[in-house]
Structure 1
Amino acid sequence: MTDERYEIRGKIGQGGVGAVYRAYDTQLRREVAIKRVLTEGGYEDAETATKNLLKEATALSSVQHPHICTVYDAGMDKEGPYVVMELINGKTLDEMVERGTLTYEDFREVAIQSQEAMIAAQDLDLVHRDLKPSNVMVCWLPSGRFQVKLVDFGLAKFSAQPSLQTIDHGDAVFGSIFFMAPEQFERTPLDRRTDMYSLGAMYYFALAGTYPFNGDTAPQVMASHLQNTVQPLHEVRPDLPKWLCDWVMWHISRNMDDRPESARVALEKFISDEASAKNEGAASPAPSSGPQLVIPQTSTQAATVAAGTRLETGTAPQPITPPAGGRSITASHSVRPAAAGGNPLTGATAIQPASAAKPTTHSHPVTSTATAASQTTPAAAPQAAKGSFFSKMSNTTKIVLASVIGAAIIIFGILIISRLSANNETEVFNKLVKQIEDPTAKDIPTSEEELDILLKSLADLKNKDRHAVLLRLQVAKAVDNSFNPDRKILSYATTDAISDTTRENLFQILSRRQNTDVISDLLAYAADHVDQGSSRVAIEAAAKNPKDDDFRSYLNILRISENSQVTKTAEKALQSVISNSYNKTTLTDQLLSTVDQILDESKRLSVIRLLGATGTERARRKIETSLKSDEDGLRIAAAAGYADWPNDQPFDALITAIESEQVPQVRRSMFNSAFELLTADHSHGSSSEAELKWMTISSIAQTDSDKLRIISHLVNANAPYSTKTLEAFTNDRHSETVKDRALRALDKIKNR
């Protein structure tokens, strides 16, 4: 069939399991891209290769979006399976970064367009799982604006529930390790937050010109991801707004729960933070005087991102500009990176020890005393004067002069000793850093002096070995019982002399060391600095080991803080404590005694949401009352509380509230909570009870988006109740989109 309709005009590229060709569609008279599977290598047989290729076609054909590569056709011919896709003329994002990191204005476009693309994919429960710069194409529209398109959903699949990372028969993880999330290395379930991590790593790369998680070997790169050793973006690009750097770093959080839960949430925060910064008068990077017109010639070869490759770039930010003859709409500026260097311990420029200078002696032959006296040379005259001067000195003057000379000798000796000591510290530092080259190293014996050297080195924010230092601190183990490494790290972290960045780094190290002895001190620091960013990191560190005894401390921080990020972090910590507690009744009592004392509405709503996680009867009564409140916000909070309920008990109450709710925003929150209850990982009763619940929520779904979510879950669940519920979406009460999706879902279940 391809011979009849498509004319192959050359190979575009080739990956591990497929090749892409430029072709011409003779029927529609347009250029297209055709992807074929390479059956030898990558898969054990052609059948598996065919299945995966057609899976890709199905996934892509379900997403129609201007920022996602469009699939036109798919089929089989004598050469095997193929997929016909939109041909995109442009450059990959890594090719753009080769010529310079992105400016603020261009990155804004890349971020918004890529997030919009992922919103469309995530609405269909599609997880890409292989997002990286080489899978992002930048092309230009006739207007002069550039357009971002995501390509190659070859590893993606529909999955309403978390899915396991695909591995090949050699147990090798697909995708580029520089942009893969930690859970992909750990073979744990993946979801949309996995893609958010990859997006964040890609954003960091586009702005910094280096990989956020790097190494000389694949194990080192994996260890960097797993230990989250990354230099904060605002240190690499101080010309960018701090909120923007924090937004990127949010995506690459080690724990999935600490990342944006979806692209929709991430994009909303981006727009909100940008607006807040403008309202607060924050200066945005100034654009250049005019748009650039011509792209400098660059290699068409994409940047290699294989394991063991390190991308080094000192290129200043450059605007994304169209090919020669085009006109760029966005205006951008360039910033030259500051020169970096210096001693890794002190941050100062290293001073090389001077060679000992040998004094030059001038000898004059003297034939007799008279001759020497009568023929005084310029060199001999000072000598004579010197002898005359010292001979006339008083004893007191000689003593004072001797004291001064002696002091100078002592000072010089101290300087020499200090220099030797510094050299010795440098040797020790280098030895300590080298120990972490093995990514599996842990519990490395460390003396108190060595720990001091490591902590001292962090004072230099430009320290090129900063990542290694933090790794080394993480695995330091005391050589004896004379000191406690965690206490020492905590003491250094809470001093006023260090930067907030270093403080936050050390709090994160403490959280990974998981020593519960420092939790109370971390929470005390958080309460004393409750409106600072470091307070948030201290709370996160303490919450790694959630305990009932700390519940009141977290609750107090939530109550007194005026910083929304700190408040949100405290709420998450409280949720962790509730989730791990065996005495939820006591925690419920503490929440109920606090909720009526809080005047701030947002904090009161946080406490109501937390009550839902306890699942106690007293909590249910309080939420039930809130669900019937006249306040919209209170009803939304009550619905959110029920979403976290440990079983389906609140389902009927939510359905009743949905049916009578008149405010669209509140109704949607209630519907989302009911849906989350039914998809949560707990028992939903017998098969007939579960079927009744799904039929009920299907009957009250109003928007196509909600109906498609239900269909997507049912086809993946493949439960006894799936078929009957899906059939309810095939009648004429629903749109053609919904009916078509339901029919395809029924066919898929039937063919399994």
Structure 2
Amino acid sequence: MQERYEIRGKLGQGGLGAVYRAYDRSLKREVAIKRILTEEDGQAEEATRQMEQETGALAALQHPHIVTIYDVGTDDDGPFVVMELLKGNTVDELVEKAPLTWKDFKELGQQIMEGLIAAQDLGLVHRDLKPSNIMVNWLPSGKFQAKIVDFGLAKFSPKPSNQTLDQNDAVYGSIFFMAPEQFERAALDTRTDMYAIGCVYYFALSGVTPFQGDTGPQVMAAHLEHRVVPLAELRPDIPSWVADWVMWHINRTPAERPENAREALSNFIELNDIPGTETMTTGNSTPSTPEPEQPKRPRLIIPGAAPEAEAPAPEPTPAPAPATPPAQPIQPVAPVQETPPPPPAPEPTPEPAPPAPVAQTGPVPAPPVTQTAPQPLQPPAGAPPSVHTTAQQPTASVAETAPNAPPPAQPVVPVVQAATPTAPAPQAAPAPQAAKVVPTVQLSGSPVQPTGQAPVPQAAPAPQPAGGGAPGRPGMPGQSGGATMLPTAKKGMGAGAKIAIASILAVLVIIVGVMVASTMGSNKVNERYNDLVRIAADPATKELPVSGEDLGILLNSITLGNNKSRQTVYKALSIATATDGTDVDTEIAKFATTGNLNDEIRVTLLDKVLAIRSNPVVVPYLIEFARKTENDSAAAAALRAVRAMGGESELDDFLDVIQFTSSNTIRRAAEEAAAEVLKRAEDPGTAAQTIATAAETAVDDDNRRAMIRLLGPAGGEKAEEVVSGALEGDDDYDKLAALEALKYWRDDSMFETLIEFLEEQTDEKLRPKAFDAAYVFLTDKDRAKKRDDLDSEDFWKMLARNAKTEREQYTIVSGLAKQETSDWAMSVIEYFVDESESDNVIDRAEKALDYMKERQKVKGTDD
């Protein structure tokens, strides 16, 4: 190596190795060389093995968006890999200055996806995608090029692989961008990379990581519990479908993410190519031609995400013009309506500061803001300007604005259109006036123009008869025949004309009166709206008195503005109490189920506002809506709201929905609601019989499996019979449903049946599910409280004796160490110290025992 490569400095160092800048004497070029660090003998062998994996994987890839491997070798200092030297910035370095603009992100995102497609086509899973592993280089033309680096943690295998652990029980990779299955040590595949790159995209557009916490465990918990602010709330200026597309990647469940980069990129390109998806609309103008059918948007299992957003309601008042207003299409003048218009956007209050945001402890917390305004990517200092992007850079006078941000309400000023009984169209700056025409007497020669006035177009002079004067009229004495004749005196106005003019003036007076009254009413609505949201925005406000009119103002205003501006309105509706006998809950339910709303608003009203209010009076509206609507997400939200309200008397309705819906989303929501009802029921014996019969007689497979799963929280002899039969049958999906039932079984009566199934199971898919079901069974807090120490020790030892893999043994040791300090728990862990064949498990078990003994001492001191 020393003969060919000259080391010129260290570029960086990671957990496994260091990267150096070097010079290739043979090919006369600078390169990067990665070496394994071998200071710790315990990690040298693993690090070397992973380096060899990286080498084999990258050598098979030749792609413009993946780092290129030049050479591989081994010398006295160990193995090394020679690769191209990338000169640029990592994504985290770029975002440190400002989040990316939409145009830059569109280019960056497509380049990264193209690189991932090439890797995934070879069966390669990166497993450590994060902003520092994506480098942005600048080409001579000034265009940037993204490259994915450091495949050192990848698995070159077409089959899913388990997450590798180091000797310190740490997981390789950055926890801010890792998928939940990596923390759970579950199987990894291409969807794991989709989650990680979704987190990277979220970070690139917002400047913050999607899942946050002050410590590592807090960040992990955020991933596992899926605590994330929808991207649309942080970047309302980007097209809404882009925010949904990014959130699609970071769904908690792998099945709800893109299958791979090819599917993700195909969806991105298809949505971007559709007219109307590039920017978000702010009005309700009707297109002259039908739009092409849009592709199916990604399913988003996140709060606030709406795959098919409708256009917002029309803005009642104009927004103030920007410093350099763009050209706007001329809008037709709207006719005056006999009925009052819907409430306009809220008018700015006299106070200089906006209302305080809703506190995080409120029902709908406000999202954090991005660290700074998005900025376009620029070539490094000293480089020539980009021929691709220079013309696209915005001028200093034109700032990026959110196309769906709520415009501040402006006072409506009546404008009378001459002889046109219509309401005024919104006015911006006054248009230039046409030049005033002043009557003049034009003699022969050049025309005489009034000072300061525009020239008056003149027609060609008409032929004059002999002797001068106009045709049919004698010539005027003292003037030449070419002179223009003076205007004749006007005759008096007839009675009919006077009557017509008087009628028109009367109509105009009426129109102006209606407009003035409407303006005064709108101003009052705005003032009341501002009062309501100002009170609701106070974190100390726990109750908001409203009249029926107030409630209408809040409901009608909810379609205006963006997600962030709606949060205060959601809170106001959540804490509203009637002052005049208005049934607030029923009115909200009717509005949520019948109003012309987009999916996001409808789901939030159902799943958040009504669930928080928790008034059973609205249950019939929600059940009926869930049965009839074709909107899966809204129906599921309605069922979740019923579930939050108790819903014991609606169990039959939930079962009815399960059996007759064709939507898996709605079926699953109804099943979860039914399971919650069964868990709370003191004696679900009758319901258990009904569910068992439905499981035995079901024709549809999905319905049968849903009923089998519900037998767990129902319990009883009939349920035991059906579930045992499913475990002994030939249908693996029925067995999985039975394992789900056993996981949440009502009492301990079926634990031994579950252990017997685990002991006999050799299927690679069913065995992990059986073990996980048994582990959840034992760790359920409600059941554990009812169990005495003797039974607890017996059950845990049953599971310990059937824990065959390192993952299973490790799970038991870690789970007990976190939850228990009792002697029986320590005896279970001692079993692994004596019986396990894994050094990792033994080491972990010994550490767990020391930890539990220390906790025992502390607990004894506290007692």
TM-score by length of 2: 0.54
Tell me the amino acid that sits aligned with residue 399 of structure 1.
I
CA shift, 1:547, in A, is: 2.3
Q: What secondary structure sits across from 1:459 in the alignment? A: coil
Equivalent residue for 2:651? 551
CA shift, 1:410, in A, is: 0.8
Equivalent residue for 1:283? 270
Q: 1:662 to 1:560 in 2, by over 3 A?
A: same
Contact 1:429 1:454 survives alignment (8 Å) = yes
Residue 585 of structure 2 corresponds to residue 486 of structure 1 = yes
Contact 2:590 2:621 survives alignment (8 Å) = no
Equivalent residue for 1:123? none
Q: 1:389 to 1:515 in 2, by over 3 A?
A: farther
Question: Which of 693, 713, 734 in structure 1 is aligned with 2:837?
Answer: 734
CA shift, 1:573, in A, is: 0.9
Contact 1:504 1:534 survives alignment (8 Å) = yes
Tell which deviates more after alignment, 735-744 or 606-615: 735-744
CA shift, 1:669, in A, is: 1.5
Alignment of 1:180-191 (within 5 A): none
CA shift, 1:608, in A, is: 0.7
Q: 1:680 to 1:341 in 2, by over 3 A?
A: closer
Tell me the amino acid that sits aligned with residue 584 of structure 2.
P
Equivalent residue for 1:366? none
Q: Distance in 2 between matches of 1:503 and 1:462?
A: 14
Question: Which of 480, 492, 499 in structure 1 is aligned with 2:598?
Answer: 499
Q: 1:550 to 1:283 in 2, by over 3 A?
A: same
Tell me the amino acid that sits aligned with residue 98 of structure 1.
A
Q: Which has the larger radius of gyration?
A: 2
Contact 1:554 1:574 survives alignment (8 Å) = yes
Q: What secondary structure sits across from 1:445 in the alignment? A: strand
Q: Distance in 1 between matches of 2:684 and 2:742?
A: 16
Equivalent residue for 2:822? 719
Equivalent residue for 1:460? 560
CA shift, 1:641, in A, is: 0.1
Equivalent residue for 1:145? 148
Contact 2:237 2:401 survives alignment (8 Å) = no
Q: 1:243 to 1:137 in 2, by over 3 A?
A: closer
Q: What secondary structure sits across from 1:436 in the alignment? A: helix
Tell which deviates more after alignment, 397-406 or 690-699: 397-406
Alignment of 1:81-230 (within 5 A): 92=92, 95-96=95-96, 98-100=98-100, 103=105, 138-139=132-133, 144-145=147-148, 150=174, 193-196=221-224, 200-201=228-229, 204=230, 207=231, 211=234
Once the two structures are superposed, what CA deviation does each residue of 1:120-142 show, in whole Å capped at 9, x if it has no partner?
Answer: xxxxxxxxxxxxxxxx8625579
Q: Distance in 2 between matches of 1:191 and 1:728?
A: 32
Q: Distance in 2 between matches of 1:453 and 1:521?
A: 22
Contact 1:140 1:322 survives alignment (8 Å) = no
Equivalent residue for 1:650? 750
Once the two structures are superposed, what CA deviation does each residue of 1:514-558 show, in whole Å capped at 9, x if it has no partner?
Answer: 111101111111111155321111112221112221111112222
CA shift, 1:491, in A, is: 2.0
CA shift, 1:24, in A, is: 13
Equivalent residue for 2:308? none
Equivalent residue for 1:705? 807
Q: 1:353 to 1:583 in 2, by over 3 A?
A: farther
Q: Distance in 1 between matches of 2:757 and 2:222?
A: 34
Q: Distance in 2 between matches of 1:346 and 1:570?
A: 46
Q: Distance in 1 between matches of 2:788 and 2:845?
A: 24
Q: What secondary structure sits across from 2:577 in the alignment? A: strand
CA shift, 1:666, in A, is: 1.6
Equivalent residue for 1:58? none
Q: 1:492 to 1:235 in 2, by over 3 A?
A: farther
Tell me the amino acid that sits aligned with residue 802 of structure 2.
I
Q: Distance in 1 between matches of 2:595 and 2:256?
A: 31
Tell me the amino acid that sits aligned with residue 411 of structure 1.
I
Equivalent residue for 1:603? 703
Contact 1:445 1:476 survives alignment (8 Å) = yes
Q: 1:268 to 1:491 in 2, by over 3 A?
A: closer
Q: Distance in 2 between matches of 1:626 and 1:311?
A: 52
Residue 667 of structure 2 corresponds to residue 567 of structure 1 = yes
CA shift, 1:708, in A, is: 0.4
Question: Which of 624, 634, 642 in structure 1 is aligned with 2:724?
Answer: 624
Q: Distance in 2 between matches of 1:195 and 1:645?
A: 27
Q: 1:244 to 1:24 in 2, by over 3 A?
A: closer
Q: What secondary structure sits across from 1:477 in the alignment? A: strand
Tell me the amino acid that sits aligned with residue 148 of structure 2.
R
Q: Distance in 2 between matches of 1:347 and 1:314?
A: 30
Q: 1:678 to 1:513 in 2, by over 3 A?
A: same
CA shift, 1:269, in A, is: 3.0
CA shift, 1:565, in A, is: 1.9
Contact 1:588 1:616 survives alignment (8 Å) = yes
Q: Distance in 2 between matches of 1:495 and 1:590?
A: 33
Q: Distance in 1 between matches of 2:688 and 2:535?
A: 48
Equivalent residue for 1:164? none
Q: Distance in 2 between matches of 1:739 and 1:280?
A: 48
Tell me the amino acid that sits aligned with residue 200 of structure 1.
V
Residue 370 of structure 2 corresponds to residue 270 of structure 1 = no
Q: Which has the higher helix share?
A: 1
CA shift, 1:624, in A, is: 1.5
Q: Distance in 2 between matches of 1:322 and 1:725?
A: 60
Equivalent residue for 1:290? none
Contact 1:612 1:645 survives alignment (8 Å) = yes
Equivalent residue for 1:339? 403
Structure 2 runs not aligned, ≥5 long: 1-11, 21-45, 51-88, 117-129, 138-145, 151-171, 178-182, 185-207, 274-358, 361-365, 384-391, 395-399, 413-424, 431-435, 439-476, 478-485, 856-863
Tell which deviates more after alignment, 731-740 or 620-629: 731-740
Q: Distance in 1 between matches of 2:402 and 2:211?
A: 31
Q: Distance in 2 between matches of 1:702 and 1:541?
A: 42
Q: 1:548 to 1:652 in 2, by over 3 A?
A: same
Q: Alpha carbon RMSD of aligned pairs, Å?
A: 5.5
Equivalent residue for 2:374? 315
Question: Which of 421, 424, 439 in structure 1 is aligned with 2:521?
Answer: 421
Q: 1:619 to 1:720 in 2, by over 3 A?
A: same
CA shift, 1:632, in A, is: 0.9
Contact 1:344 1:460 survives alignment (8 Å) = no
Q: Distance in 2 between matches of 1:347 and 1:666?
A: 67
Q: What secondary structure sits across from 2:654 in the alignment? A: helix
Tell me the amino acid that sits aligned with residue 674 of structure 1.
A
Residue 765 of structure 2 corresponds to residue 678 of structure 1 = no
Contact 1:546 1:573 survives alignment (8 Å) = no
Q: What secondary structure sits across from 2:765 in the alignment? A: helix
Q: 1:196 to 1:92 in 2, by over 3 A?
A: farther
CA shift, 1:699, in A, is: 1.7
Percent identity, aligned pairs only, is 22
Q: Distance in 2 between matches of 1:600 and 1:474?
A: 40
Residue 547 of structure 2 corresponds to residue 444 of structure 1 = no
Equivalent residue for 1:70? none
CA shift, 1:234, in A, is: 8.6
Q: 1:23 to 1:598 in 2, by over 3 A?
A: closer
Q: 1:463 to 1:744 in 2, by over 3 A?
A: closer
Q: Distance in 1 between matches of 2:247 and 2:709?
A: 30
Contact 2:589 2:618 survives alignment (8 Å) = yes
Q: Distance in 2 between matches of 1:467 and 1:281?
A: 29
